[in-house]
Each structure stands twice: as C-alpha cells, then as structure tokens.
C-alpha cells in the first residue's frame, strides 16, 4: 500500500487537532456541548451554533503568507479576534466561549476577551475605565500581539513589535491617542495630529501636576491606572505636550570641516569646534554640525527628555540629569566602551546621579546593548544624512515615537 500523500496527512492531522479542540471546549464549558457542531474531516474550523443563522467559530486562517487562529464573532461586522499559532488550546476555546456566551446572554463580551487578550492587565484595566466613561477605545495590545487590520473585504494580519509595550489606541473628536505601558519607562502618552501627520508626546507628570520629568515616561507606582484614565478622559485641554521637532532642511553645500560631530577616542567634553574633523572627506547631502545639534536636541525634547537645552562650545547639549556623549567610529560600541562611558557619566554627577545618553553614527554589540539597558542608559543611532535618531538599545527604542498612524496596524 503506498504511503499517503502529504496533503492527506496534513488534513488528517488538522482534523485530529480540531477534534481535540472540541473535546477541550466541552470539558471546560459543558453548557455549550449541545451547540458544538462536530468538525468534519475537511473543515478548518470549530463551530458553536447559536441560532439558525448565527454561529461563533474558531478558525485556522491564512493571512497572505501567514497562518493564525481567528475567533469569529456572531456579529459579523466586527473584525475577528486573531491569535498566534502557538496560543494554548485552553486560551483558544475560552475565547470562543466568551464570544458565544456573550451572544447567548445578550451581554457585552467580557474583559479581557473583548480586547483580544486572555489575561487582565493594567492596559485592559485602563481600556475598561475609558470604555466605562464613554471614551472610544479602538485597539488594545498586550500579551497577544496579533490583530486583524484593514477593510473587512481585505483583512490583513498585523503583528505589534514587542518594543511598543502594551498599549491602547483611543479616539477623541479632536485627537487620536496611543497610551503605552513600556517595560522600562512605564507610561508613554502620544497623540497624533492628522493635519500635520506627526505624533506629539504628552508630559504625563506635568499634566497631572507632578512637574516636568527629566526623562520620558512615568512609573505605574507614581501614576496608577485610574490617574491615567482621568487624564485621558479630561481631553486635550488637560494635556501638556512636548514641542514637536520638525525635520531641518538639508543644506546643499558642505565644507569638509563640517563632517564629523563626534568625539573620536576620548570621553572628555570638547569644544564644539573640536568636534569637527577636518580630515573627513566632503560628502553631499549631509546636515551641518549646527543642524545636527539642533535636530538631536529637538528630538530628545520631543521624546520627553525634559531638562535638555542648548549648551555651549564645550557641551553642545546640556542636561542636569544626563551625560551626553557623541561618538563616531566604524566599529560597533563594545561592552567595555559602554561601561567606560557609563563611568564617565557617573563621575560627572554632582547632586543628581547622571545617566548616560550616547549619540553614535556606528553600531553596537548585543552585549553592550544589554548592558546599556541594565545601566539605564540610552544609546541612539544618528543618521547624519537626515539628522534623525534611531535606537540601539531597548530603552532608546521605547522612547521613539510611534511609526504608524492610528488604525493602520500596531
């Protein structure tokens, strides 16, 4: 007897898996047993028949090039709840039960399932607070990073980056908001201006009467969920925003002496004129040193570094809470280098322990990046052609503004 073809084996394995899902659903939620439609061999879904016309279904769905689990609500004008393939079967059947039982009882889908999450958390609690006050919560992302996006006839899979933390997207008549709970920085509160097509950051501490913070974010201990919900519900008039940095115009002509902005081998502070290496060959379409200083200063302020200001020749950007190092090297920053710079930052401290900010045009090793997070440092990559900052460690990644517009994916 010939060995069965691969597609037949795959279909049989899928059939057995859906039989197991059916069994676990009935074991965990026996009240639905009489409503479960036994999966046929060719089916890729588990169905709970709620009426002659309505069903809740757990489906194995393909989104272009990726497969995912989808729980389809009986109210068909809503997007499905989407889950990764490695989601525990108990979570999948509990999600199916939540949607089915909500329809049968005529009640809303309970939290956290209504937010496509399997466990209660601070971000689902925030969403519940806001929803209870009539604020429109568009999206909640926590442990489950999968979401269905796009128009209903062309739904696509969107996967949120872990560095975005847990977040909720909220719509107001005059503002679109993303409030995030980051692993290292705590609460980050951003608003989107559709006219200018830019994100702005709200100073949570200042808005809640705590004063401006020298660094972005606010801890859960200082700002409990209820306080953040109060601030959001109060609307735009209550939000104190950091000024938005605008991209500077790139000069067309550059002098060779304007090409390098960074200290080369020494961690000491240097006059601004000494930060430019005249031996560096001229390259077109690069921002001038003054442009770079202004753009870095503007971006740090936009991110929420509340005490940065324009410095002098010795220190282009001044801060009482951070020691800012400028680096230009071909090799990646190593762990010993980051440790040395972190020691320099500590030595520069007076009344307040200074943390390290590094602005570099080079890369960084993984161990050095991990140490920087441990040392509560921020390592930024500078694109000298545009003056824009990127992130070289998780703490720096967490302070960056969202990349996508609200409603266009995580």
- Give the end of a domain, one of 243, 274, 290: 243
Number of compact structural domains in the chain: 3
pLDDT at 124 over 70: yes
Residues 70 and 99 in one domain: yes
How far does Cα 295 stand from its chain's mean position? 23
Summarised one tens digit per residue, pLDDT across range 198-224 is 899 999 999 998 888 899 999 999 999
- Give the end of a domain, one of 211, 243, 275: 243
Nearest of 193, 187, 158 to residue 175 by alpha carbon: 193
Domain that holds residue 234: 113-243
Supply the pLDDT for residue 64.
82
Find out whether 393 and 378 touch, Cβ atoms under 8 Å: yes
Burial class (CB in 10 A: 0-12, 13-18, 19+), 2: exposed
**Does residue 148 lie within any of the structural domains?**
yes
> φ, ψ for residue 156 (rounded to 5)?
-125, 160
Find out whether 288 and 254 touch, Cβ atoms under 8 Å: yes
Summarised one tens digit per residue, pLDDT across range 356-400 is 999 999 999 999 999 999 999 999 999 988 889 999 999 999 999
Q: Rounded CA gap, 143 and 165, in Å?
A: 9
pTM of the model: 0.82
Averaged pLDDT, 101-124? 95
Residues 50 and 95 in one domain: yes
Supply the pLDDT for residue 260.
40
Residues 68 and 190 in one domain: no
Supply the pLDDT for residue 68.
93
Supply the pLDDT for residue 242.
87
**Does residue 249 lie within any of the structural domains?**
no
Find out whether 100 and 125 touch, Cβ atoms under 8 Å: no
Residues 309 and 351 in one domain: yes
Per the prediction, the chain carries an average pLDDT of: 84
pLDDT at 166 over 90: yes
Residues 6 and 48 in one domain: yes
């Amino acid at each position: 007897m010939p060995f069965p073809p691969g597609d037949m084996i795959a279909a049989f394995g899928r059939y057995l898996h859906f039989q197991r899902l059916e069994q676990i659903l009935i074991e965990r939620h026996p009240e639905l047993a009489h409503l479960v439609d036994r999966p046929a061999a060719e089916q890729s879904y588990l169905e709970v028949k709620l009426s002659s016309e309505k069903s809740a279904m757990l489906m194995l769905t393909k989104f272009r090039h990726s497969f995912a689990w989808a729980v389809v609500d009986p109210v068909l004008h809503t997007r499905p709840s989407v889950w990764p393939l490695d989601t525990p079967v108990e979570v999948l059947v509990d999600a199916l039960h939540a949607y089915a039982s909500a329809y049968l009882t005529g009640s809303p889908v309970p939290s956290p399932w209504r937010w496509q999450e399997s466990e209660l958390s601070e971000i689902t609690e925030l969403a519940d607070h806001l929803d209870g006050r009539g604020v429109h919560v568009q999206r909640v992302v926590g442990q489950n990073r999968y979401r269905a996006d796009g128009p209903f006839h062309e739904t696509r899979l969107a996967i949120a980056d872990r560095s975005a933390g847990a977040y909720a997207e909220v719509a107001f008549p005059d503002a679109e908001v993303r409030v995030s709970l980051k692993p290292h920085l705590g609460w980050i509160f951003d608003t989107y201006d559709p006219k200018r097509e830019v994100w702005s950051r709200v100073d949570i501490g200042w808005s809640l009467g705590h004063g401006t913070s020298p660094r972005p974010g606010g801890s859960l201990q200082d700002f409990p969920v209820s306080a953040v919900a109060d601030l959001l519900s109060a609307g735009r008039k209550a939000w104190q925003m950091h000024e938005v940095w605008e991209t500077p115009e790139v000069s067309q002509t550059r002098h060779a002496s304007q090409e390098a902005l960074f200290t080369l081998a020494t961690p000491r502070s240097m006059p601004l004129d000494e930060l430019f290496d005249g031996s560096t060959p001229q390259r077109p379409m690069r921002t001038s040193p003054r442009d770079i200083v202004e753009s870095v200063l503007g971006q740090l302020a936009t991110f929420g570094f509340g005490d940065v200001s324009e410095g002098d020749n010795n220190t282009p950007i001044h801060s009482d809470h951070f020691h800012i190092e400028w680096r230009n090297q071909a090799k990646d920053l190593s762990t010993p280098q980051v440790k040395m710079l972190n020691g320099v930052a500590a030595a520069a401290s007076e009344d307040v322990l200074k943390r390290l900010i590094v602005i570099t045009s080079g890369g960084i090793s993984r161990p050095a990046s991990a140490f920087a997070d441990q040392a509560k440092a921020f390592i930024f990559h500078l694109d000298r052609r545009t003056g824009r900052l990127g992130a070289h460690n998780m703490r720096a990644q967490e302070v960056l503004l969202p990349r996508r517009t609200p409603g266009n994916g995580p």
